[in-house]
């Protein structure tokens, strides 16, 4: 059987704290992450490793990120490697230069959930032949969320319900609301969600393991109790049969 390998990402960032933060976060997400901290070191490492994606700072000691990009694009080993730029400069000229040979850019410091979403989008778009890693145990029973700019790993069993918010969603635990960098549709496909969570509406997923009882049923709505607290959810017509069956109503 062919071994399935995780996508490989190389981070070139001179701020070691930011580089370490990005590396740890993406490693938790199942990626294989390596680091460089100067332009010259980064260029050498990228051409040697030929990663699936490069996260590249613009302002680096020695060679700048833009110079690294130019040299990569001239080399057969680096010309097709996608680049996500990080920059503290948000002016139009810098953005144009980044996108001249790069795929996307983000301003520093990066929001980690947004970074993860962009990494996934770039790999899906430009690296269809990149093998996907099987989900780790940590990925299966925990979800990376953001709370007050801090990234937390929340056990799925602690999530009461999920509410859609555009292309992202809010995850509710007993005492907090967290931002998750995934849509409800994407969450439903993640290991653990399809088994534990029930879609009651296009905007809501309910953790059946957290439901203590159904207090009452209303037309097009269901009222359930979590930890002594009642919560009312709308029920979509297409989801009503499964809601009725799972809630025994």
Looking at per-residue confidence, does 199 or 126 come out higher? 199
Q: How confident is the model at residue 154 (pLDDT cuts 50, 70, 90)?
A: confident
CA distances 99 to 32, 89, 106, 109, 119, Å, are 25, 14, 11, 19, 15
Q: Is the model's pLDDT at 142 over the cut of 60? A: yes
How do residues 64-111 score in pLDDT, each as one tens digit? 999 999 999 999 999 999 999 998 876 777 788 888 888 888 888 887
How do residues 192-211 score in pLDDT, each as one tens digit? 787 889 999 999 999 998 88
Omega before residue 109 within 30° of 0, cis: yes
Q: Is the model's pLDDT at 235 over the cut of 60? A: yes
Question: Which CATH code fits 8-126?
Answer: 3.40.50.2300
Distance of CA 58 to the CA centre of its chain: 23
How do residues 10-64 score in pLDDT, each as one tens digit? 999 999 988 988 998 888 778 999 999 999 999 999 999 999 999 999 999 989 9
Measured over the CA atoms of residue 20, residue 53, residue 103 and residue 129, the dihedral's sign is negative
Question: Domain limits of the chain?
Answer: 8-126, 144-247
Residues 134, 140: Cα–Cα separation, whole Å? 10
**What integer pLDDT is reported at residue 137 of this predicted model?**
39
Looking at every residue in the chain, the average pLDDT score rounds to 84
Question: Which CATH code fits 144-247?
Answer: 2.40.50.1020
């Amino acid at each position: 059987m062919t071994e399935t390998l995780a996508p490989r990402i190389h981070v070139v960032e001179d701020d070691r704290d930011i580089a370490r933060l990005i590396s740890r976060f993406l490693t938790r997400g199942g990626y294989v992450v390596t680091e460089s901290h100067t332009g010259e070191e980064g260029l050498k490492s990228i051409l040697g490793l030929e990663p699936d994606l490069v996260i590249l700072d613009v302002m680096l000691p020695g060679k700048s990120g833009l110079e690294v990009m130019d040299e990569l694009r001239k080399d057969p080993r680096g010309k097709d490697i996608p680049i996500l730029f990080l920059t503290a400069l948000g002016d139009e000229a810098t953005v144009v230069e980044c996108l001249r040979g790069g795929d996307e850019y983000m301003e520093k410091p990066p929001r980690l959930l947004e970074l993860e979403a962009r990494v996934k989008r770039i790999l899906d778009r430009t690296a269809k032949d990149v093998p996907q890693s099987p989900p780790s145990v940590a990925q299966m029973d925990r979800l990376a969320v953001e709370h007050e700019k801090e990234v937390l790993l929340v056990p799925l069993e602690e999530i009461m319900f999920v509410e859609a918010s555009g292309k992202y969603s809010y995850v509710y635990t007993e005492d907090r609301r967290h931002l998750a960098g995934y849509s409800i549709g994407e969450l439903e496909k993640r290991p653990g969600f399809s088994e534990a969570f029930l879609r009651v509406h296009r905007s809501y997923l309910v953790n059946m393991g957290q439901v203590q009882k159904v207090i009452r049923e209303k037309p097009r709505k269901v009222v359930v109790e979590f930890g002594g607290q009642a919560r009312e959810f709308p029920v979509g017509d297409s989801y009503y049969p499964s809601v009725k069956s799972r809630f025994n109503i």
